[in-house]
Structure 1
Amino acid sequence: MVAEDAAKDLEVARILSGIGEAAYRWTSADDRLLWSPGAGPLLGLDDESAITTGQAYDALVDPQHGPSRRDVILASGASDAGSGVPFQIEYAIRPAGPEGPLHWVEDTGRWYTDGGSRPVRAEGVVRIVDDRRAHAERLAFLSRHDVETGLFNRSYLLELLDEAVSQALKLRTHAAFLVVGIDNMKLIKEAYGLGAADRIAAAVAQRIAARLRDGDAIGRFTIYKLGILLNNCEEHEMAVAAERFIAAVGDEVIATEDGAMSVTISIGGVSIPRHARSRAEVTERAHETLELARDVGPGRFIPFKPSTMIAAERRANTELSRDLVGALAEGRLRIAYQPVIDAASRRTAYHEALLRLVQSDGTVALAAQVVPLIERLGLARLFDLAVLDQVLAALEANPGAVIAVNVSPETAAGPDWMARLAERLTATPGVGSRLIVEITEATAIRSLEEATRFITRLHELGVRLAIDDFGAGYTSFRSLRALAVDIVKIDGSFIENLAHSTEDQIFVRHLAALAHELGLATVAEWVRDETSAKLLASWGVRYLQGDVIGEATLTPDFGA
């Protein structure tokens, strides 16, 4: 019987060892600690006799990384109803001595009493959980830190900011928040690549972090911007700190594996709670002042100062944005159509669709009044989609109509507008050949690759493409050929004084000749007098547009 029990104990020990665990029994009366075979090697000990008592085992536990098993049991205060009191704890041991490596132990078991409240024995199993602990610590680190720089990440930085704002309001203390931007980051990315840009950002962060006080915090605010929280910082101290950070980065070149680079930073900052009393106000105003600092020049710091003018402008923008969105919802969007005539025959070749907005007071705003505001407020896509719907409806209702419609850069770069156009044209064959889409020269040169894809898709749908405001930017005729443009609209600034400007005449005449050689139709806009109209026709400009030709109207004659 004894032999059988011994065999079973060995089998249990073998199973435990196979899964990386060891069993133990501890008795409090004599402090004796019995282990299953293999416990020593599992715990990193050459001699298992070193852990034959509870006190000896406790001596291995690192006091900075969790209480010992015996401390937990004796301090429990729980009562044993007869089946024991369960426990599961984690602690770290140093089996090689105080300077040796840490090993994390998961200790699971039960302790028992003799009917009273004092523990008399404990039984359980232990296992080494170094990998799990390392993984958990890594996840904990990543929950608060940025991988590339090792700084706090945005989420945790904002948590600290929330706490700082709360403390400043509650205890009437002061703090400051700075947003740091690397001035020449665009050039670094273009010259060396994104990897180099990340390394430069990390190096800048390290230089600034080395000059922070205890209690301050630095983190990654956006991809290439840093956020710095200065606790217990008066407004005048914020400026001193910012100049210290600017000097730390700019006084010496930054050496990386990509080479030595000269880097400067600009900083915007706001005092808490004097000029900002919430997270939203802090981040918005610090970021706003960073942009102001960059406008002044590299290596500058600008603190936030209240401005009644800016506040009034923002309130006006809010009201305007609300009115613009309301105009869409209430159907107050109108389209006026201005004729574009054939320069030779003086007959209408097509119409350009121009936005009109009936305002809440009943007055009608022209495109020049509202389009810049629409684009500034980020509403261009919504309005472009609404205008497209009305233009396509007009083409469907008027088989003789040919209409040009403008598309903003943001809309052209996104998928929504093109998807809507393709869906409508697929459902109404023949309409695409009577539609002309206008994009500005600036839109075309922003990304020739994107512009090429956009124009190619238009041509697949049977739609023509016109480049608007040509001559105001830097597009070459070679680019126009590569983009397969159909129509070039000469910028109106070269046309409005054409009859009286020799320089404009020379420019337009040569431009028209080059366009003709390349097989591109040309349109002169802003034609204001008959003299200019005749000059343009004589130079081969194919189409004319302007108030002297025909004003925009809400009730156009599209013909049969």
Structure 2
Amino acid sequence: MEAAGDVAYRWDILSDGLAWGSSLKELLGESNDEIQSGHGFNNRIHPEDLPIRLKALSDHFAGQAGYDCEYRLRNNQGGVVWVHDRAAAAFDADKTPVAMSGTLRVVTTRKQTEARLERIANYDELTGHFNKTRLRDELDQALTFARRFYVPGAFMVIGIDKLAMINSAFGYEVGDAVLVAVGQRLDRYVRSSDVVGRLGGDRFGVILSQCREEMVVHAMDRIIDGIREEPVEIDGQSIPVSVSIGCVLFPGLVNTAYDVMAKAELSLNYAKRNGRSCFNTYRVSEQQGLVHRHAMDIGAQVQQAMRDHRLLFMYQPIVRADTHEVVEYEALLRMRDEKGDIVPAGAFIPVIEQLGMARALDRYVLDMAVDELREAPDTTLAINISGLTASDQSWLRALISAVRSTPHIAPRLVVEITETAALHDIEESARFVNVVRDLGCRVAIDDFGAGFTSFRHLKALTVDMVKIDGSFVLNLSRNVDNQLFVRNLMGLAATFGLETVAEFVENAEDADFLLKAGVGYLQGYYFGRPALKRNWLSGQCITPVPLVAE
């Protein structure tokens, strides 16, 4: 037991006597004689943790669970030690607990590591405020609360004016000190119920819950005036600081935390262009109101189409560049309207993303794809998802459930996420990619090249495939600049051993250039238009059809 780092004990419940199997010196820095009863031991447990242990004991004595818990013990030096306590009770004929035998193990180092990792995941290292990810989660909760109970709120993005100039004049250490000082003042200028976080760079974010517009304006005036009127004192130097603020009122016409943050950034940029040290609130013009109402109509149509099962796939083949053999199909989402006409994805997908409905739609698409793969055991399908789904745990749970119930679909499912969405939050996207690949599915970056992915980004995103953005492929054989760009992209992909697909291939010349450039797979009208009919040709070669002017 000593070699394992454990201390054994036996507790006689009837007499409350507590016997130890080895010395408590390593555990608490004191002799065994000082803790000889269960009551005395309870007195050493941290007051916040004692209810946890008592609940675990109660559940164990009632036969509802094994006894296994962690809590803090106080030692004679005034410090605390985290311990992992595992034990089992002995019962008499009446099922009354009479004794308990178990072990204690010190887990202080592990607990400290867990606390440090949790802090890194949720807090900004410099200022100690929530980081961008945690702030976005808090904003999502505030939006949900505001919609459910019809209460107003606001989100502010606060930018420190000309922080780059402060860094250049006084050094980055002073610039960091200014950031810390501004963060501390924000804590004083807002209510205790408000949430302050750092978005990165020179920007902070503040969530004002249950706050009317006139109160929001007062808060912004107070922040701007307070920071401007009180210079930051650092090492005897008085540094004048001012801030600009962009604000979005909610719930209003905003639906997601991403949407709120983006509009607040636009408002902040307007405030900076308007002379700095001022604020701007995002407003919707009459024309924008008409656009929003049209978007809401489209959103309602898509929701009804989901209920009526009028969303469907059109399938476009992806072929090997050398043999033109079909290897998989991309499942392209379409909607059949109430008249029976097919509505292209471009007419409703952007609106769905703006309305915050992308996650629900992506879940619907996943279910459709899983059903198709189950019915067609020899077919591989690629589906597109939005950037928001990369942080959607329910979508991942649905995928995990589908793969567990039908394991053979995993290697035949390719999940495509756009490059710009993947780069929006590289760490979150990397976690998503890892989970999907661990299930046995493949992941592709769509529109590769549109967001200028760097070497570092591709190293973080351990995807299987990249799909070259179609804008670089159209008329490629006659565009020298695009040819150079494609070769550079191919070099980047080859460094990581990634498979490559070129989209929008429409003629033999472009297909031939792409083959010679090393592209592995081709997709476009030259090899087949998207079709509703499930005419699976997996493993067969396609005879290309030159485009004819219509």
TM-score computed with the length of structure 2 as normaliser:
0.56
Match of 2:523 in 1: 545
Matched to 2:159, the amino acid is D
Quick one: distance in 2 between partners of 1:258 and 1:499?
Answer: 65
Indicate which of 182, 185, 188 corresponds to 2:158: 182
Q: Matches of residues 84-233 of structure 1 in structure 2 within 5 Å?
A: 181-184=157-160, 200-201=182-183, 203-204=185-186, 222-223=195-196, 224-225=205-206
Match of 2:241 in 1: 262
Q: Matches of residues 325-364 of structure 1 in structure 2 within 5 Å?
A: 325-364=303-342
Asked whether the equivalents of residues 254 and 263 of structure 1 are also in contact (C-alpha less than 8 Å), the reply is: no
Indicate which of 417, 424, 432 corresponds to 1:439: 417
Shift of 1:501: 1.1
Asked whether the equivalents of residues 224 and 242 of structure 2 are also in contact (C-alpha less than 8 Å), the reply is: no
Quick one: distance in 1 between partners of 2:490 and 2:223?
Answer: 55
C-alpha offsets along residues 204-235 of structure 1, whole Å, 9 cap, x if unaligned? 576x79xxxxxxxx886553438687989xxx
The answer as to 2:406 corresponding to 1:428 is yes
Match of 2:365 in 1: 387
Secondary structure of residue in 2 paired with 1:430: helix
Asked whether the equivalents of residues 179 and 269 of structure 1 are also in contact (C-alpha less than 8 Å), the reply is: yes
Matched to 2:448, the amino acid is F
C-alpha offsets along residues 429-453 of structure 1, whole Å, 9 cap, x if unaligned? 2211111111122233334433333
Quick one: distance in 2 between partners of 1:498 and 1:470?
Answer: 15
Shift of 1:377: 0.8
Quick one: distance in 1 between partners of 2:518 and 2:182?
Answer: 54
Shift of 1:306: 7.3
Identity value in percent? 31
Change (3 A) 1:362 1:482: same
Quick one: distance in 1 between partners of 2:309 and 2:500?
Answer: 35
Quick one: distance in 1 between partners of 2:182 and 2:525?
Answer: 55
Secondary structure of residue in 2 paired with 1:431: helix
C-alpha offsets along residues 400-442 of structure 1, whole Å, 9 cap, x if unaligned? 2011111211112121111111111111122111111111222
Asked whether the equivalents of residues 339 and 350 of structure 1 are also in contact (C-alpha less than 8 Å), the reply is: yes
Q: Matches of residues 54-69 of structure 1 in structure 2 within 5 Å?
A: none
Change (3 A) 1:476 1:293: closer
Change (3 A) 1:264 1:521: same
Secondary structure of residue in 2 paired with 1:515: helix
Match of 2:112 in 1: none
Change (3 A) 1:289 1:493: closer
The answer as to 2:508 corresponding to 1:527 is no
TM-score computed with the length of structure 1 as normaliser:
0.55
Quick one: distance in 2 between partners of 1:367 and 1:432?
Answer: 25
Quick one: distance in 1 between partners of 2:173 and 2:383?
Answer: 38
Instruction: Give the stretch that moved more between structures: 481-490 or 218-227.
Output: 218-227
Secondary structure of residue in 1 paired with 2:304: helix
Shift of 1:265: 2.4
Matched to 1:411, the amino acid is T
Match of 1:494 in 2: 472
The answer as to 2:454 corresponding to 1:476 is yes
Indicate which of 459, 472, 475 corresponds to 2:437: 459
Matched to 2:385, the amino acid is V
Quick one: distance in 2 between partners of 1:404 and 1:380?
Answer: 17
Change (3 A) 1:410 1:287: closer
The answer as to 2:282 corresponding to 1:294 is no
Secondary structure of residue in 2 paired with 1:555: coil
Secondary structure of residue in 2 paired with 1:488: strand
Aligned length: 361
Asked whether the equivalents of residues 266 and 293 of structure 1 are also in contact (C-alpha less than 8 Å), the reply is: yes
Quick one: distance in 1 between partners of 2:253 and 2:434?
Answer: 45
Quick one: distance in 2 between partners of 1:454 and 1:280?
Answer: 29
Quick one: distance in 2 between partners of 1:303 and 1:537?
Answer: 52
Shift of 1:522: 0.8
Matched to 1:458, the amino acid is V
Shift of 1:475: 2.2
Quick one: distance in 1 between partners of 2:213 and 2:358?
Answer: 39
Change (3 A) 1:283 1:554: closer
Asked whether the equivalents of residues 242 and 267 of structure 1 are also in contact (C-alpha less than 8 Å), the reply is: no
Match of 2:388 in 1: 410
Shift of 1:472: 1.6
Quick one: distance in 1 between partners of 2:363 and 2:449?
Answer: 28
Change (3 A) 1:450 1:246: closer
Quick one: distance in 1 between partners of 2:262 and 2:447?
Answer: 32
Secondary structure of residue in 2 paired with 1:436: strand
Q: Matches of residues 14-33 of structure 1 in structure 2 within 5 Å?
A: none
Quick one: distance in 2 between partners of 1:392 and 1:264?
Answer: 51
Quick one: distance in 2 between partners of 1:516 and 1:444?
Answer: 20
Shift of 1:482: 4.5
Shift of 1:181: 4.2
Asked whether the equivalents of residues 491 and 524 of structure 1 are also in contact (C-alpha less than 8 Å), the reply is: yes
The answer as to 2:345 corresponding to 1:367 is yes
Indicate which of 494, 509, 523 corresponds to 1:516: 494
Secondary structure of residue in 2 paired with 1:553: coil
Match of 1:101 in 2: none
Asked whether the equivalents of residues 326 and 537 of structure 2 are also in contact (C-alpha less than 8 Å), the reply is: no
Change (3 A) 1:347 1:192: farther
Matched to 1:362, the amino acid is G
Secondary structure of residue in 2 paired with 1:535: helix
Asked whether the equivalents of residues 323 and 360 of structure 1 are also in contact (C-alpha less than 8 Å), the reply is: no
Asked whether the equivalents of residues 490 and 523 of structure 1 are also in contact (C-alpha less than 8 Å), the reply is: yes
Match of 2:132 in 1: none
Matched to 1:363, the amino acid is D
Change (3 A) 1:507 1:292: closer
Quick one: distance in 1 between partners of 2:403 and 2:468?
Answer: 29
Quick one: distance in 1 between partners of 2:423 and 2:282?
Answer: 36
CA radius of gyration, larger in? 1
Shift of 1:247: 5.2
Unaligned runs of 5+ in 2: 1-128, 130-138, 140-152, 165-171, 197-204, 539-550
Secondary structure of residue in 1 paired with 2:501: strand
Asked whether the equivalents of residues 230 and 240 of structure 2 are also in contact (C-alpha less than 8 Å), the reply is: no
Quick one: distance in 1 between partners of 2:524 and 2:236?
Answer: 55
C-alpha offsets along residues 48-84 of structure 1, whole Å, 9 cap, x if unaligned? xxxxxxxxxxxxxxxxxxxxxxxxxxxxxxxxxxxxx
Matched to 2:245, the amino acid is S
The answer as to 2:289 corresponding to 1:311 is yes
Shift of 1:304: 7.7
